Structure 1
Amino acid sequence: MSVQEVGWSALFSGRNGIRSIALAGGVGLHAINVYVATTILPSVVSDIGGLDYYAWNTTLFVVASIIGSALSPGLLASRGPRGAYGGAAVLFGLGTLGCALAPDMTVMLVGRSVQGLGGGFLFALSYGMVRIVFPEVLWPRAMGLISGMWGIATLVGPAIGGIFAEIGAWRAAFWSMILVVGLFGGLAVAVLPSRSPEEGQAPRTPLAQLVLLSLAVLAVSIGSVRPDLIWNLGGLIIALVLLAVLIAMEGRAEQRLLPRGSFDPSAPLALIFATMSLLTLAVTTSEMFIPLFLQVLHAQSPLVAGYLAAVMAAGWTVGSIGSSGAQGRSTARAIMLSPLVALAGMVALAWLIPAGSQGDWLTLGPLCVALAVVGIGVGIGWPHMLTRVLQLAPEEDRGIASAAITTTQLFATAIGAALAGMVVNLAGLSNPGGAAGTAHAAFWLLAVFAAAPLLACFTALRGIRLASGRVAATARAV
């Protein structure tokens, strides 16, 4: 295939173009729904009650998404791309319908759980079908397009949710999502192949590992919603114990949650997963609390603060799509550069945000640049890390490799959110609170989590070196 053929024109031409839209739409639906729900939840609670269960809307959604992503290889193998994607869209639509009709918080939580399950399927299947419907030379561009949907969702989701919340019609936000689900689900069923190479070879579900992973997320989430340090640490310790048991089980299990080598520190695959998880931690902390910091410390309205924080997601999209055309050694350089750039942005944020301002653009301008740098840094390497996972996974584990991408990302997001809450609480966000407490919390949050891209610099470098060494050894043997 020529250089011209592996450009964006090859990804968007003919049936490839329609398939690209369908797969990107699956991730887009999941991502936009996350931000729509977050935006309208205050209106939901004021209408149907359930403030005590506010956090569980997110917790149950994330846990169900992890379960869906882990179960996606079996669904894909048993139903084929067309049936799997269509079924996931129907499930997501049913959950959204339940949310739209919810008379109380109990029904809302059930709807959010079903939504999360369907969204987890869509999220993982979109990545999983890249290797089925596109030639390998197009994988980085397809991964860049799909992962870039999170940046678009950060811009679109709050706007949709905000508009419906402003006019007092939060249910209409869910109804609008149902229409979009039908559109993209129908498109996917029309253009995706009915069969895949793995069809009829459905892997058995690693039920024990999946239960342990879900319990670990629940333990951290429950611990993080309490203001007491003992609860925070207790939830974290329980989660670490559960993860240790999970890793031990994965080492000898026939039915695996992640590909072989995912927990071996001497394996390139494990180091790529570690790099992705660390970068996800850095972004999660920023996305959660920077809107609050901008409101309290930089005199911004909630709407403006939300969209300024979205600059990071926009940077991720730009970096991901812009670097996805790299080939050969350039892909290794992109992976190694990714955490370095993200680290520079995190250090700048730790310096700029706690200082505060009156909202003048002499301060906000550099702050926006720092936010964009973090996002661009992660985006530069992201499509190539995703592609490396598919390439490095053992042949017999290729089917679960794509699901492992989403499982790992969702788990890192959940853990990052819980840890971020612990750090800001300990650093004084609530006590003493106010501008002084917020500034102190902002500094410590960004400073502590700057360690994530710093560690990722080492895992990325070692992973690339190990992968290059194995390729050279293979070449000599041949």
Structure 2
Amino acid sequence: MSERELGWGALLAGRNGVRSLALAGGVALHAINVYVATTILPSVVADIGGLDFYAWNTTLFVVASIIGSALSAKLLQGTGPRGAYLTAVALFAAGTLVCAFAPTMEVMLVGRTIQGLGGGFLFALSYAMIRIVFDEALWPRAMALVSGMWGVATLVGPAVGGIFAELNAWRAAFWIMIPLALLFGFLAFATLPARNQDGNERSNLPFAQLFLLVVAVLALSVGSVRADLAWNAAGLAVAATVFALLVLVERGAVSRLLPRGSFSVTAPLGVLFATMSLLAITVTASEIFVPLFLQVLHAQPPLVAGYLAAAMAAGWTVGSIASSGAQGRGAARVIVAAPVLGLLGLVTLSLLVPTVSDGRWLVLGPITVALLIVGFGVGLGWPHLLTRVLQVAPKDEQDLASVSITTVQLCATAVGAALAGMVVNLGGLTVPGGVPGTSSAAFWLFAAFSIAPLAGILTAVRAAVLKQGVKASV
């Protein structure tokens, strides 16, 4: 195959172009919804009440997304690519409709749960379809395109949500997503195959492992809500115990949550998933708390702080696109570069963000560059890590491996968010609070989270040398 055939033209032209639009659009829809909902939530509470359930809007959405992602392989096997994607679109649209009509916060939470389930399906299936509808030579570019939608969403979502919030029309923010969902559903119906021709997997649902996974994530999330070391430790202990039980159950299970070798650091899949998880956790620290730090410590208004924090997501998108054509040793080098740049960025942020300034660009400029470096680094390696997952997965677990990419990413993000909450609370965000507490929390967050890319360097070195044909151990 020529270099031209490996380029973006082959992915974005003709029938491949329509398929790319459908798959990237599904992820963009899910991702934009995440940021729109976060932006308009204060307006929702002001209108229908439910402040006590504020955090559960995100918690239930994330948990439902993890469930949807984990069940995507079974949906794909049962209904085929076209049917699975249409089911995901229908669930997402139904949940969005419930949110748009919600008279109370309780109803809103039902809608957010359905939305999360459909969004989890969309997110996972978009990655899973890449293996099915594109030639292997196009996988890295397709992975870069799909994962790059999170950067687009970070720029578009807050703006859309902010506009409707200022117009006191938060329900319209949900309404506009329904026709978009139907459009991507139509594209999927027109271009995706009805059946997966090489799909030979048949399995029951891994209910026990899925239940344990959800319990572990919830335990960690609940453990992060207080600035109490004993409470935090209890949450960590419960989560670690349940996760250990999950690994035990998974090893002896007929119906698997993740492909063989996923929980072994000596197996190719285990190395790849460990690297992906550490990179996702690296990004989480920047994504959640940087807007708050910029407002309190560097005198930035909410909108400006939000878009400065989006530099990380923009860097991820640019890095993914820039490295997607790398092959052989080039691909190996960008995999190793990912955690190295992430470590450099977090260490820089730990030095710059805790300082108090009047918001001059002499300080904000280097902070923005550091955020770009974190995102750019992770983006460089991401498409190639995902491609290697598909290449080394057992032949009889290809569908499961495809959707496990999203399951691992969502779980790592949820874990990272919970750990970040623990660190900032213990670091002084709430006690003593104010500028001194926020400054201390910022330092400890970036310093503690630097451990993730540092460990990621070790796993990335091993992941970089994996070649197609190396199979996961049983």
Task: Compute the TM-score of the two structures, normalised by the length of structure 1.
Answer: 0.96
1:186-227, Cα deviation, whole Å (9 max, x unpaired)? 111111111112558543211100000011111111222234
Offset at residue 356 of structure 1 (A): 2.3
- Aligned AA for 2:254? E
Counterpart residue number, 1:327? 327
Q: In terms of mean alpha carbon deviation, does 213-222 or 318-327 score higher?
A: 213-222
Determine if contact 1:347/1:447 at 8 Å carries over to the other structure: yes
Determine if contact 2:388/2:467 at 8 Å carries over to the other structure: no
Alignment of structure 1 residues 121-132 onto 2, 5 Å: 121-132=121-132
Offset at residue 254 of structure 1 (A): 1.3
Offset at residue 265 of structure 1 (A): 1.4
2:409 is the counterpart of 1:409? yes
Counterpart residue number, 1:40? 40
| Separation (CA, whole Å) in 2 of partners of 1:332 and 1:206 | 34
Offset at residue 156 of structure 1 (A): 0.5
- Aligned AA for 2:255? Q
**1:5 match: secondary structure:** coil
Task: Say if 1:313 and 1:87 are closer, same or farther in 2 by CA, change over 3 A.
Answer: same
Structure 2 unpaired stretches of 5+? none
Task: Say if 1:200 and 1:385 are closer, same or farther in 2 by CA, change over 3 A.
Answer: closer
Task: Say if 1:4 and 1:67 are closer, same or farther in 2 by CA, change over 3 A.
Answer: same
Counterpart residue number, 1:429? 429
- Aligned AA for 2:339? P
- Aligned AA for 1:416? G
Counterpart residue number, 1:65? 65
1:315-368, Cα deviation, whole Å (9 max, x unpaired)? 000000110011122111111111101111111111111112111111111111
2:9 is the counterpart of 1:9? yes
| Separation (CA, whole Å) in 2 of partners of 1:24 and 1:232 | 38
Q: In terms of mean alpha carbon deviation, does 359-368 or 15-24 score higher?
A: 359-368
Determine if contact 1:73/1:203 at 8 Å carries over to the other structure: no
Alignment of structure 1 residues 420-459 onto 2, 5 Å: 420-459=420-459
Counterpart residue number, 2:254? 254
**1:129 match: secondary structure:** helix
**1:4 match: secondary structure:** coil
Determine if contact 1:80/1:196 at 8 Å carries over to the other structure: yes
- Aligned AA for 1:421? G
- Aligned AA for 1:16? N
Q: How many pairs are equivalent?
A: 471
Alignment of structure 1 residues 274-289 onto 2, 5 Å: 274-289=274-289
Counterpart residue number, 2:197? 197
Offset at residue 445 of structure 1 (A): 0.2
Alignment of structure 1 residues 286-435 onto 2, 5 Å: 286-435=286-435
Offset at residue 230 of structure 1 (A): 2.5
Counterpart residue number, 2:134? 134
Offset at residue 21 of structure 1 (A): 0.6
Determine if contact 2:391/2:468 at 8 Å carries over to the other structure: no
| Separation (CA, whole Å) in 2 of partners of 1:264 and 1:411 | 17
| Separation (CA, whole Å) in 2 of partners of 1:9 and 1:110 | 42
- Aligned AA for 1:84? A
Determine if contact 1:48/1:103 at 8 Å carries over to the other structure: yes
Task: Say if 1:4 and 1:469 are closer, same or farther in 2 by CA, change over 3 A.
Answer: closer
- Aligned AA for 1:148? G
Q: In terms of mean alpha carbon deviation, does 444-453 or 247-256 score higher?
A: 247-256
Q: In terms of mean alpha carbon deviation, does 252-261 or 223-232 score higher?
A: 223-232
| Separation (CA, whole Å) in 1 of partners of 2:312 and 2:162 | 20
Counterpart residue number, 1:476? none
Determine if contact 2:36/2:160 at 8 Å carries over to the other structure: yes
| Separation (CA, whole Å) in 2 of partners of 1:170 and 1:198 | 44
Offset at residue 236 of structure 1 (A): 1.6
Compute the RMSD of aligned alpha carbons.
1.4
**2:5 match: secondary structure:** helix
1:221-280, Cα deviation, whole Å (9 max, x unpaired)? 122223433322212211111100011111111111111111111112111100110111
| Separation (CA, whole Å) in 2 of partners of 1:48 and 1:402 | 40
| Separation (CA, whole Å) in 1 of partners of 2:37 and 2:235 | 26
Determine if contact 1:73/1:202 at 8 Å carries over to the other structure: no
Task: Say if 1:373 and 1:235 are closer, same or farther in 2 by CA, change over 3 A.
Answer: same
**2:176 match: secondary structure:** helix
| Separation (CA, whole Å) in 1 of partners of 2:115 and 2:311 | 27
| Separation (CA, whole Å) in 2 of partners of 1:23 and 1:31 | 13
Determine if contact 2:201/2:399 at 8 Å carries over to the other structure: no
Offset at residue 463 of structure 1 (A): 2.8
Task: Compute the TM-score of the two structures, normalised by the length of structure 2.
Answer: 0.97
| Separation (CA, whole Å) in 2 of partners of 1:199 and 1:331 | 28
Counterpart residue number, 1:161? 161
Determine if contact 1:268/1:464 at 8 Å carries over to the other structure: no
Q: In terms of mean alpha carbon deviation, does 126-135 or 320-329 score higher?
A: 320-329
- Aligned AA for 1:159? A
Alignment of structure 1 residues 106-255 onto 2, 5 Å: 106-197=106-197, 201-255=201-255
- Aligned AA for 2:217? V
